[in-house]
Structure 1
Amino acid sequence: MEDDASMPNQPAQPTLRRRRLGEALRSFRKSAHMSLDQAAEVMGWDRTKLSKIENAKAHIKPVEAAKLLGVYGVDAPDVLMAIEGLARDAGKRGWWTTYGDVVAADYKDYLSLESDADSTRIYSPNLIPGLLQTGTYAREIIAATAFNRAPDEVNALAEVRKARQAVLTARHGRQPLSFWAVIHEAVLHQRFASQPNLMRDQLRHLLEISDLPNVTVQIMPMSMPPNPGMMGLFEVVRFPHPWPTVINLENLQGGYFVEGTDDVEVFETAFERILATALPVDDSREIIKKIMEKD
């Protein structure tokens, strides 16, 4: 992927990775009880440069990031590796940039998170999660929910959704994404009048992809007792240390993120309670098979 740091005539773009890097460096500086002026002076920089780095408006080289962590007294090897890696990758543009403005800014941020994550846990009460969708199902769902989009944009977004699924099987130099989904049983009964075989194919795909060792699917039964999942879809996105967990929430206008230890803990606890209410994996597979065979 092309890196905007390799284009000196272009200003740094405040990508999600660059924002996370800036926030982390600011947090380390404050923990070291240093002002912008103090830290910049030790580095031999103007305070404006450090301010721009912390606000995702300037590049920082991995070697500079490592030196800055030394100034802040941070020497944990895993933290150094993570910060240097993010400094190296912060300006890289993901494969989704080839789709231009069809992919909204918040969706680009989500795709960046997903590509960097170690694991994702999702409760989905109304549809098959995007990483588990067939192309045909994806197009139908996108056409219904992104109803203000032109047909060619719907097709492009369906392509993006399918391309995302590569994180489940192969990632350069990394293990595939660990993905755990709890899906409400009602979703399995969805039908598409114009394509009567669509849902059978989708359920078959759901069974096949859940055979992957990194993919777990559980079904929330129709007879479920009250549980936190009744409040709607949410996703717990986890990253390698030291990056904090992020919660992704979605509505018709797109997605937004919840961060902060206390807020994240609420959703992590909610997901554990949802797991306790859902059917075990083997029983979930059986119910998927039974519904598929009825078609």
Structure 2
Amino acid sequence: MSSTVTSRRRQLGNEIRRARVAAGMTQQEVAALLGCGQAKINKIENGAVSVKLSDLRQMLEAFGTSKTEADMMTALARTSGQRGQWSGYRSAVPHWFRTFTDLEPAASEILSWHGERIPGPLQSEHYMLKQFSEARATDVTALVRNRLERKQVFELKRPPFYRFILGEAAFRRMPGGPSPSVALDQVQHLLELEKSYPRTFIHVLPFDTRLSFVPNDFTIMRFSDATRDFVFIEHAAGGTYIDDEGDFELFVDAWDRLRGAALERNETAEFLEKLAQDLRAQVQV
């Protein structure tokens, strides 16, 4: 799978961090070398910003990096600075979400938990149009095109294993309030989607499951290359990316608890078929 600009930038940041630690240097020392603030070095290592080739050469010389590793990192730096894919209708994607959508196709596995809403890649067109209209979005066409483009992640030659856990409330709380027709369209869409894409897994967490509590929504992204695994949390002010190893494992544990309580795939299919039957009866009334 070809890596994205953001995944290459994060991979380069990981390599720079590794080389710096191996050289026994701190971020403050590297910042002094380049004549910048420590915060910039931290952003470079986290893949939040690209690094100039001249700065990279200075760092690699100070680290005593081998020619083979230096050539590899230089090649990454040349490609990780390429941008421009956020023009046109894609500019509707908020800045805080662009790293997520850029890395989504490059992941090897994605674990996504949503308690009260259907996440973007799983939304039917009826559901997303209702959501955008209720939010009084100004450019619905661009938003829908972006949302549909994200679904291409399922159709890649080697797509990530995309595993979703959806709370039962996500099927009871429709955008704009109760709507059997929107809910039915969404349920039928999910049933067809999982049949069509073998690397996509959907599990429902029913109301009557035995858990002490359920956490807020989160998504775990894992990578087979040097890109650092992370957790993404969306909130009212934007989104937060967490890649600290200790915190990351806490979310993995939370996912495991949810997955242990959720329905299996065949049970989920039965749940959705029964729900679709109930919704059809409501629509026909």
- Shorter-chain TM-score bucket reads 0.7 to 0.9
Question: Which of 236, 239, 259 is matched with 2:223 structurally?
Answer: 239
Find the counterpart in structure 2 of residue 120 from structure 1.
110
Cα distance, 1:176 vs. partner?
0.9
What's the TM-score once normalised by structure 1's chain length? Answer: 0.74
Question: Contact 2:50–2:80 (CA<8 Å) still a contact in 1?
Answer: no
Question: Contact 1:227–1:277 (CA<8 Å) still a contact in 2?
Answer: no
Gaps of 5+ in 1: 1-13, 40-45
Cα distance, 1:53 vs. partner?
8.3
Find the counterpart in structure 2 of residue 162 from structure 1.
148
Find the counterpart in structure 1 of residue 127 from structure 2.
137
Find the counterpart in structure 1 of residue 206 from structure 2.
221
How many angstroms apart in 1 are the aligned matches of 2:238 and 2:218? 13
Q: Would you say 1:28 and 2:19 are equivalent positions?
A: yes
Cα distance, 1:27 vs. partner?
3.5
How many angstroms apart in 2 are the aligned matches of 1:194 and 1:257? 33
Question: Contact 2:112–2:164 (CA<8 Å) still a contact in 1?
Answer: yes
How many angstroms apart in 2 are the aligned matches of 1:204 and 1:86? 43
Question: Which of 176, 179, 188 is matched with 2:171 structurally?
Answer: 188
CA-based RMSD = 3.8
Find the counterpart in structure 1 of residue 9 from structure 2.
18
Q: Would you say 1:151 and 2:142 are equivalent positions?
A: no
What's the TM-score once normalised by structure 2's chain length? Answer: 0.76
Note closer, same or farther for the CA distance 1:35–1:121 as it changes in structure 2 (3 Å cut). Answer: closer
Question: Contact 1:117–1:237 (CA<8 Å) still a contact in 2?
Answer: yes
SS in 2 for 1:114: helix
- Structure with the greater relative contact order (CA < 8 A, sep ≥ 6): 1 or 2? 2
For each residue in 1:37-83, what CA deviation from the matched residue of structure 2 results, as whole angstroms up to 9, or x when unmatched?
Answer: x99xxxxxx8569x98884454449x979x8799436979xxx97x5
Q: Would you say 1:285 and 2:272 are equivalent positions?
A: no
Find the counterpart in structure 2 of residue 5 from structure 1.
none
How many angstroms apart in 1 are the aligned matches of 2:156 and 2:15? 28
Number of equivalenced pairs: 263
Give the share of equivalent positions with the same residue, in percent: 26
Find the counterpart in structure 2 of residue 9 from structure 1.
none
Gaps of 5+ in 2: 280-285
Find the counterpart in structure 2 of residue 260 from structure 1.
244
Note closer, same or farther for the CA distance 1:86–1:69 as it changes in structure 2 (3 Å cut). Answer: farther
